[in-house]
Each structure stands twice: as structure tokens, then as C-alpha cells.
Structure 1
Amino acid sequence: MTIDPSSIPNFGGQEPEPGPPPGPVVPDQDLVKQLLDQMELKHLVDEEGDLVAPWEQFRTYFMFRGEDDQAVYSVRTFYDRPHKIDDKPALLEAIDDWNRRTLWPKVYSHTHDDGTVRLIGEAQMLIGQGINLEFFVSSTVSWVRAAIEFDRWLAEQLGLEQEVDGVEKANDDGDDEADTDE
């Protein structure tokens, strides 16, 4: 199973090759690796066997859970910026606003034992019976872009413009991804 390059938004790379649209596929980790390679995103497999694409302020995991008809593909982003427990009401108000206005990622908070609050964004789809490859590719690309956009949006909402400016500067340098080896 391969990805039709014409189904991936053009990031200035190779030209799409024409071909017939494939039928339903059951995506797997190798397919996601191929997509991340074509998007020129650094990635690795963690100690638990999950595929992860690290950025400076967050990590996005591409996970497959369940079996047969109940198999689920989940894209989950763990935002590394710690928030104080006292800031949680404002944080929840901001993520509630995001969740009302966007389809993905749906974002929720997690309070750690030490009192820090971190955010997690998630999008999922059932894949057990197979799905259209173009839909899978466009969804994955959209979810990655939305995870990046949420981090920028939240920094703007919370008045962390300095961090936003740093992210924009890194993007101008063409360094969206973390400096992690595959």
C-alpha cells in the first residue's frame, strides 16, 4: 500500500504521479511513516512502539489501537508547556473556546501530581473496515496542521507572544520540526 503523492498538499516537493484512486485500505504505522517522510517531518518510534513526531513545544503521536472492526487510529498531541494550577480556570476557558470553534484536535487538560497542568489534543477515526486512502492522508495532514495551530493560538490567547514570535521565527528558518534523529 502506498500513498498517492497527489493526495498530499504540495509542500514544494515532488510532482504528483497520476494513477487510479485506490480502494479502501486499513492504514498502519508504515503508511504513516511514509506520509511523514513525504511531509518532511522528523519522526521516531518510542519505547512503547508508538510513532511520534517531536516539535520543540509538543510531541504528536500516531497510534493504532484495537483490532478488526474496532481498530482506531488516533493522533494525540502532548503539549509540553507547563501551566500553573492557579491558571487552570483561564486555561479551561480558552480550550473550551477552541473546542467549540474547531473540529480538531479536541483539547483537554491533565493535572499532574506536582500541580502542573498540561494540555493534550486528540483526533480519532475508526479504520477497522478500511477507509479511503485520500481521506486518511488529508485527515492526518489536517490534524498535524491543527495541532501546530492550536499551540500558536493558545500562546496568543494567553499572552505568550514572545513564545509565538519564537515559533514564527523558527518557521521562517524552515525548522518546524524538533532536532531529533529518526
Structure 2
Amino acid sequence: MHGKPYEGNHTVSIDPSSIPNFGGKPEPQAAGPAGPVVPDQDLVKQLLDQMELKYVVDDEGDLAAPWEEFRTYFMFRGEGDQQVFSVRTFYDRPHKIDDKPKLLESIDDWNRRTLWPKLYTHTHDDGTVRLIGEAQMLIGTGVALEHFVSSTVSWVRAAIEFDRWLVEQLGLESEVDSAEPKNDEE
């Protein structure tokens, strides 16, 4: 069916040799339908498998890849033409409320200089401040598979890079090693 969006019941193949592993391999190139696809959770699972990233499905049905200091969620929201794919990272490192002005200055700098993820703060009832990063793509009308794959991989890389960058910005270098993917631990 030429040009028909992917609806989850067809197999879309992602060339495994083209998926980077965060170690400098070439950018991903997807092999699949020539027309637009409407990505779903199964496609993201296939991509994460090929990136050799561990993942879980939470109680709400969202897909998440855990790291030591953060969790990245791959979520689908909305219906029809308004469906959105969101990659949202919850950084678990707590910051003190007194550090919020410095934290906001740092994430403002990041948000000005980078495309993604866009970062914001969340202040918890106990007064700790945590960061959330997010990137989104409108997918309801379909997207090119190659664009979806390369965007998702880039967003995951950027989520990891932000954590390392923030550690350097705030002088937390002793924590850099903990930002490594859990998948690398044997």
C-alpha cells in the first residue's frame, strides 16, 4: 500500500547496522516504507532494542529507558491528526530550592543554545527542585521513518549530553560517571 501511514500492524524494519550506540557510529538510516509512517510504541521498542538500550513499560503503559540519574520516557498522546510523540526525560538529581536561580540560569543557557531537549524545573512539595527535558514531534499525519528514527536517537543523545553538561556547569564532576547508561553495567 504505497503512501499509507504505518498503523502498527505492519512490520517496519530499521537497519540495525545503522543505529548508533552513543559511541560515535554513523547517524541512523531507516529502511522501511517510502511513504509516511505513524509511529507507535512497538516501533520505539524495536528502535531501543537495536540501540541496545534497556527499557520498561510503566503502570500507565508508557515506555521508559532508565539511567542512573534519569529516566527517559517515550510517550504517545492525542488522537488522529493531533497525535504527538514526546520524549521526556526526568532527571532524578535533587537540587535545593536556594539553588533554583543558578539552575534556571544554567537551563536558560542550554535552552538558548540547543534545539532539544527543552528543559524546565519542577519544585516538589518537600522543596527539592528537579529538572525535566522534553522534545516533541507531531506524528498524526505520518512522518518519514528516517526522520523519526534520527530524531528519536538525537533526542536520547541530547538527554544524556544535557546531564553531563549540567554536572560540569554546576561543578558536580564526581557524578559524571553515574550518568552512564545502566545498559553498560555488567
TM-score bin (small chain): 0.7 to 0.9
Please state if 1:22 is matched with 2:34.
yes
Q: What is the CA-CA distance between 1:120 and the residue it aligns to? A: 0.0
Residue correspondence of structure 1 range 89-104 to structure 2 within 5 A: 89-104=101-116
Q: What is the CA-CA distance between 1:20 and the residue it aligns to? A: 6.5
Tell me the percent identity: 75
Gap change, CA 1:7 and 1:27, over 3 Å in 2: farther
Q: TM-score, normalised by structure 2?
A: 0.84
List gaps (5 residues or longer) in structure 1: none
| Residue 177 of structure 1: aligned partner | 182
Gap change, CA 1:7 and 1:131, over 3 Å in 2: farther
| Residue 154 of structure 1: aligned partner | 166
Task: Give distance in 2, aligned partners of 1:91 and 1:19.
Answer: 41
The code of the aligned residue for 1:2 comes to V
Task: Give distance in 2, aligned partners of 1:18 and 1:36.
Answer: 13
Please state if 1:111 is matched with 2:123.
yes
- The answer on whether the counterparts of 2:29 and 2:150 sit within 8 Å (CA) in structure 1 is no
Task: Give distance in 1, aligned partners of 2:84 and 2:31.
Answer: 28
Gap change, CA 1:132 and 1:18, over 3 Å in 2: closer
What do you get for the CA RMSD once the two structures are aligned?
2.5
| Residue 51 of structure 1: aligned partner | 63
- The answer on whether the counterparts of 2:68 and 2:182 sit within 8 Å (CA) in structure 1 is yes
Gap change, CA 1:17 and 1:70, over 3 Å in 2: closer
Secondary structure of the 2:182 match is coil
- The answer on whether the counterparts of 1:26 and 1:128 sit within 8 Å (CA) in structure 2 is yes
Task: Give distance in 2, aligned partners of 1:121 and 1:78.
Answer: 7
Q: What is the CA-CA distance between 1:48 and the residue it aligns to? A: 0.4
Task: Give distance in 2, aligned partners of 1:178 and 1:18.
Answer: 23
Task: Give distance in 2, aligned partners of 1:45 and 1:153.
Answer: 28
Q: Count how many residue pairs are aligned between Structure 1 and Structure 2.
A: 171
| Residue 2 of structure 1: aligned partner | 12
The code of the aligned residue for 1:3 comes to S
List gaps (5 residues or longer) in structure 2: 1-10
The code of the aligned residue for 1:5 comes to D
| Residue 82 of structure 1: aligned partner | 94
